[in-house]
Amino acid sequence: MAANPENVSTVEAWAELLACPACHEAVRAEGERVVCAACGRAYPVVDGIPVLIVERAELTPVIEGQHDQRGEA
């Protein structure tokens, strides 16, 4: 599914305020999903709204050195 530019900017704004419900670390927007760099869970975005339900998350590989947006590795 192609990312809607309006939804992407909204998701980016929300991502700055949200935390991963599984590990409580910061999340970042990646297209039509919100991803936690700490635990690797990717949460879907439905109609521009991040769905932060652990059971709906997809596990993604965690990239070394990308712990969170505050620079803590």
> Is position 66 within any domain?
no
Number of domains in the chain: 1
| Integer Cα distance of 2 and 25 in angstroms | 27
Percent over 70 (pLDDT), the chain: 74
Q: What residue has token string 């927007």?
A: 29
| Integer Cα distance of 69 and 47 in angstroms | 25
- According to the model, what pLDDT value does residue 39 have? 96
For strands 41-46 and 58-59, give the pairing: antiparallel
Closest CA to 38 of 14, 62, 72, 55: 62
52: CATH: 2.20.25.10
Give me the mean pLDDT over the 23-51 stretch. 94
- According to the model, what pLDDT value does residue 73 have? 42
- According to the model, what pLDDT value does residue 67 have? 47
In the predicted model, is pLDDT for residue 1 greater than 70?
Answer: no
> Is position 18 within any domain?
yes
> Is position 72 within any domain?
no
**pLDDT grade, residue 31 (50/70/90)?**
confident
The torsion of the CA quartet 13, 18, 19, 22, rounded to 10 degrees, works out to -110
